[in-house]
């Protein structure tokens, strides 16, 4: 065994391997993706033996595959982000009624912010809805402990168990020790045993519902006084050293536990520096938000007048404490999201917790007091660095940060696809339906090519709705190659079956780009090593009945626009397959350059396609631009795709190897390093 510095998700993968997981499957989605990738890397290196790992076509397919393995007694691991659980929910709701045999852990990563998601969905609510236990880690270390405990809990009660870290826990780093080699647990010798309980008829479902309710009661006891109580610790007992009995309580869940601990540490230091007594309080972490550890929480709340709750995202713990207060006719007041005492959305932070706790504890004055000068090990907390005997450079920056909206990468094939379709449409009335992925950024100016975006695969079916109620408009649906397989096929079939007049633009960049370039059925690459036969998007479209299917290279404008025009003018379901690799898959070429003698400074290269590899310098001068300034190429970003050269009306952008007329007299084309 060796200690390694690991990202939280990497550590969680190792914890699952250590627990003997035999089958792991999921669908990529930030902030969860690295778990499956780490397991695949360990398997490829020969360090994770006996395991099957895969990226499934979507989350529903992944969970259903794992259900079969779990029925045979294998330990299984499912991974997705919070919105991915929506896709898998049909399988999950029934799986909990049927039950499992081998431990089944659902690793579902929530994304407060949201940082890279379309919603701030709280998986703890979903756990309660599905009546599935939920564990909510505060740190990667605790998350690893919870994963191992989750397998034991799952098998003890024959229930799926959700482990719900959030983005900051998934992407934090920690030193942890794991075995050099792991071996998946063997399935029991009898394997899958036929039994009527595996078939979810109404009578069996009714019986199972009662079993679920009973086991949740038992898990509540386990979470309060049994093996799971370690995840719901209480700090601060009856009487303090000063003889005070705490009347104030603080409760936190998930990563907010660490924010609150740090804020309390800072407040204690500042109270000490200011000569102020730190008020007495009692603290509790809720590491199992569902089922709520009510008996432990009763012990915590005894004698308290007020309890403040810090959690992300919804008021789950707050609701549980309010319900417990009513049930017990207790006298404590609960402060939190519902009454404005803590943030009602987004991420919590140490700074925010510091201010709210100072107010709650009645020591706001210490926030304005000058902190004692740090010494010894605390010197690193200084907010400036001395560079000479008489000067310091502050490390903090108080100014407004520059606005930097997300954009498609320089050289992204999607840019050409969007531009070609917009040009092919011209002034024709149209609705452009987007989807989830990098190409959602097609909505940004100057492309302005996405009118709607709901959820994965919805662009195809939404376009059909628009075509029904506004037949005078052309409807175009954009979908990525990975999303085409993940959740687009149902809409594709519906378009043919009901003969909706829509055009589907498949943006095939040969990867799942947004979540880290994972493979998918269209690539033929699998995590287990052997390359399978890639599933042809064109063949699928033909098989279901698409009569008009055209191909185009999105980096060739005239070809792309002509393909778009042909497909859009076709009456009935049609498809354009734009095939161009993601820049992460291809070696960058030589950048283009600007012919300074020809550039007029019209900015069309910028205002038409919005490539971040093109900038504008108002100080540049040239015979054609006069004092207007000129465009320049950022050589660190440009990969030489050449789309901008096809857009420039004055041929001022030169492809690699192309030289301007009279280059010897004027020097090379303008560019910026």
**533: which strand partners?**
none
Token couple for 373: 């000068």
Q: What mean pLDDT is reported for the chain? A: 86
Predicted pLDDT of residue 224: 86
> Looking at the predicted structure, is the pLDDT value of residue 665 above 60?
no
pLDDT digits (tens, 9 = 90+) for 220-252: 999 988 889 999 999 876 555 666 778 999 999
> Looking at the predicted structure, is the pLDDT value of residue 47 above 60?
yes
Lowest-confidence pick of 131-140, 246-255, 388-397, 644-653: 388-397
SS (H, E, C) 161-208: EEECCEHHHHCCEEEEEECCCEECCCCCCCCCCCCHHHCCCHHHHHHH
Predicted pLDDT of residue 382: 38
Nearest to 484, CA basis, from 355, 578, 586, 621: 578
CA–CA separation, 141 vs 312, rounded Å? 19
Predicted pLDDT of residue 167: 93
Predicted pLDDT of residue 372: 38
> Looking at the predicted structure, is the pLDDT value of residue 379 above 50?
no
Q: Given pLDDT bands bounded at 50, 70 and 90, which one contains residue 253?
A: very high
Mean pLDDT of 516-532: 79
Mean pLDDT of 334-358: 92
pLDDT digits (tens, 9 = 90+) for 284-320: 999 999 999 999 999 999 989 999 999 998 999 999 9
Q: Given pLDDT bands bounded at 50, 70 and 90, which one contains residue 384?
A: very low
- The DSSP letter of residue 370 is P
Predicted pLDDT of residue 383: 38
- The DSSP letter of residue 672 is B
> Looking at the predicted structure, is the pLDDT value of residue 89 above 50?
yes
Predicted pLDDT of residue 146: 96
Token couple for 577: 């397959």
Predicted pLDDT of residue 34: 92
> Looking at the predicted structure, is the pLDDT value of residue 672 above 90?
no
pLDDT digits (tens, 9 = 90+) for 403-451: 777 888 888 999 999 999 999 999 998 888 888 778 788 888 898 888 8
Predicted pLDDT of residue 387: 37
> Looking at the predicted structure, is the pLDDT value of residue 59 above 80?
yes
Predicted pLDDT of residue 400: 78
Chain centre distance of CA 533: 29
pLDDT digits (tens, 9 = 90+) for 485-512: 887 888 888 788 878 898 999 998 878 7
Stronger pLDDT, 437 or 556, i.e. the higher one: 556
pLDDT digits (tens, 9 = 90+) for 150-179: 999 999 999 999 999 999 999 999 898 989
CA–CA separation, 153 vs 155, rounded Å? 6
Mean pLDDT of 625-641: 91
Predicted pLDDT of residue 520: 80
> Looking at the predicted structure, is the pLDDT value of residue 462 above 80?
no
Strand ranges for 406-449 from DSSP E:
430-433
Q: Given pLDDT bands bounded at 50, 70 and 90, which one contains residue 357?
A: very high
Mean pLDDT of 102-106: 95
Quote the percentage of the chain above a pLDDT of 70: 92
Stronger pLDDT, 374 or 118, i.e. the higher one: 118
- The DSSP letter of residue 160 is -
Mean pLDDT of 25-49: 92
Predicted pLDDT of residue 420: 94
pLDDT digits (tens, 9 = 90+) for 616-632: 999 999 999 988 999 99
Q: 544-565 burial, b for 16+ CB within 10 Å, e for fewer?
A: eebebbbebebbbbebbbebbb
Predicted pLDDT of residue 503: 94
Mean pLDDT of 51-77: 86
Predicted pLDDT of residue 350: 93
> Looking at the predicted structure, is the pLDDT value of residue 475 above 80?
yes
Predicted pLDDT of residue 468: 76
> Looking at the predicted structure, is the pLDDT value of residue 370 above 70?
no
- The DSSP letter of residue 534 is P
Lowest-confidence pick of 16-30, 100-114, 224-238, 284-298: 224-238
Distances in whole angstroms, Cα of residue 450 to Cα of each of 404, 419, 440, 441:
20, 11, 7, 8
Predicted pLDDT of residue 540: 93
**163: which strand partners?**
107, 135
Mean pLDDT of 322-328: 93
Predicted pLDDT of residue 238: 56
């Amino acid at each position: 065994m060796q200690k390694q510095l690991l990202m939280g998700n990497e550590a969680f993968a190792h914890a699952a391997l250590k627990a003997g997981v035999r089958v792991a499957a999921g669908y990529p989605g930030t902030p969860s993706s690295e778990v499956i990738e780490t397991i695949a890397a360990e398997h490829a290196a020969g360090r994770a033996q006996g395991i099957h790992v895969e990226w499934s076509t979507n989350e529903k397919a992944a969970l259903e595959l794992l259900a079969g393995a779990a029925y045979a007694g294998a330990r299984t691991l499912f991974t997705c982000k919070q919105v991915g659980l929506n896709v898998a929910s049909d399988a999950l709701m029934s799986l909990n009624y049927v039950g499992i045999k081998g431990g089944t852990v659902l690793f579902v990563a929530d994304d407060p912010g949201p940082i890279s998601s379309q919603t701030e969905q709280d998986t703890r609510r979903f756990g309660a809805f599905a009546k599935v236990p939920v564990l909510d880690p505060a740190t990667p270390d605790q998350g690893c402990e919870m994963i191992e405990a989750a397998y034991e809990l799952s098998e003890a009660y024959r229930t799926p168990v959700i482990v719900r870290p959030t983005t900051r826990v998934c992407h934090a780093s920690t030193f942890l020790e794991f075995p050099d080699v792991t071996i998946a647990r063997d399935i029991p010798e009898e394997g899958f045993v036929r039994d009527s309980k595996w078939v979810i008829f109404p009578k069996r479902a009714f019986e199972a519902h009662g079993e679920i309710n009973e086991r949740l009661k038992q898990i509540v006891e386990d979470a309060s006084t049994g093996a799971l109580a370690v995840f719901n610790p209480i700090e601060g007992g009856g009487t303090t050293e000063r003889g005070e009995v705490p009347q104030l309580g603080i409760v936190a869940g998930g990563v907010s536990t660490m924010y609150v601990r740090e804020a309390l540490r800072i407040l204690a230091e500042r109270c000490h520096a200011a000569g102020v007594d730190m008020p007495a309080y009692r603290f509790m972490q809720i590491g199992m938000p569902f089922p709520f550890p009510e008996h432990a929480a009763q012990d915590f709340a005894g004698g308290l007048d007020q309890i403040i709750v810090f959690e992300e995202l919804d008021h789950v713990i707050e609701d549980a404490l309010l319900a417990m207060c009513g049930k017990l006719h207790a006298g404590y007041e609960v402060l939190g999201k519902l009454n404005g005492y803590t943030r009602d959305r987004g991420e919590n932070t140490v700074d925010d917790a510091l201010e709210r706790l100072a107010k709650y504890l009645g020591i706001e004055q210490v926030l304005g007091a000058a902190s004692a000068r740090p010494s010894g090990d605390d010197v690193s907390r200084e907010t400036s660095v001395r560079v000479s005997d008489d000067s310091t450079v502050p490390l903090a920056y108080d100014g407004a940060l520059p606005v930097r909206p997300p954009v498609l990468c320089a050289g992204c094939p999607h840019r050409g696809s969007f531009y070609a379709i917009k040009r092919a449409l011209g002034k024709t009335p149209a609705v452009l339906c987007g989807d989830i992925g990098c190409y959602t950024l097609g909505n940004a100016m100057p492309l302005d090519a996405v009118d709607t975006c709901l959820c994965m695969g919805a662009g195809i079916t939404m376009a059909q709705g628009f075509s029904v109620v506004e037949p005078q408009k052309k409807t175009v649906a954009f979908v990525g190659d990975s999303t085409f397989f993940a959740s687009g096929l149902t809409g594709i079939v519906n378009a043919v079956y009901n003969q909706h007049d829509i055009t589907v633009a498949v943006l095939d960049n040969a990867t799942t780009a947004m979540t880290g370039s994972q493979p998918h059925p269209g690539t033929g690459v699998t995590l287990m090593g052997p390359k399978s036969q890639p599933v042809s998007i064109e063949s699928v479209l033909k098989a279901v009945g698409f009569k008009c299917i055209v191909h185009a290279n999105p980096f060739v404008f005239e070809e792309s626009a002509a393909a778009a025009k042909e497909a859009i003018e076709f009456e009935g379901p049609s498809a354009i397959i734009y095939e161009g690799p993601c820049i992460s898959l291809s070696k960058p070429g030589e950048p283009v350059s600007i012919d300074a003698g020809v550039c007029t400074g019209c900015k069309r290269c910028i205002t038409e396609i919005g490539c971040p590899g093109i900038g504008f310098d108002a100080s540049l001068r040239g015979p054609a631009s006069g004092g207007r300034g000129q465009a320049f190429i950022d050589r660190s970003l440009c990969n030489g795709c050449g789309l901008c050269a096809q857009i420039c009306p004055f041929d001022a952008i030169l492809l690699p190897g192309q030289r301007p007329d009279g280059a010897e007299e004027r020097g090379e084309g303008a560019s910026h390093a």
